[in-house]
Amino acid sequence: MSEVVYRINRPEVIHEQFEDEYVVVNLKTGSYYSLSGSAPVVWDAIGNGATEPEILQTVSSYYTLALSSIQSQVQEVLKSMQDEELVVGESIPADSRPPRQPLAPAPEGALFFLPVVEKYTDMQELLLLDPIHQVDETGWPARLPDAQ
């Protein structure tokens, strides 16, 4: 029997955590994203190689909420992350999955906020530069003229 396990779309996608928010960059598209609300908990579960039911259970447990009260919001943010190519689902045999690491418990009294993924495109041109090959004579990244 196989399961669909979600993972971060590496190496095209990188991320950094800033307090209770993640900034995620898709190096293929040049878009970057802010993950806030409960989206960082979803992201952590994905980074841990979770299935959709496990992601839902993780968020439910983290905030001590009924699964039914958060299911549609979590599924929607997971779909958004897939549509933006931040995460991918892979079908793998259930018996070949590596063990998952438990996530840190929620802080006392953590409140559930809707998972939010905000997309930004204002730095696409800069993020799509190839800093190794597209540099000017001083070594700074520079857009090379398009070859005609």
pTM of the model: 0.82
Q: What is the pLDDT of residues 9-35, one digit of tens each?
A: 999 999 999 988 999 999 899 999 999
> What burial letters (b/e) apply to 37-65, b meaning 16+ CB within 10 Å?
bbbbbbbbbbbbbbbbebbbebbbebbee
Q: What is the pLDDT of residues 80-134, one digit of tens each?
A: 999 999 999 999 887 887 777 777 777 777 888 999 999 999 988 877 776 554 5
Q: How many Å separate Cα 69 from the centre of its chain?
A: 22
Q: What is the pLDDT of residues 30-81, one digit of tens each?
A: 999 999 999 999 999 999 999 999 999 999 988 888 889 999 999 999 999 9
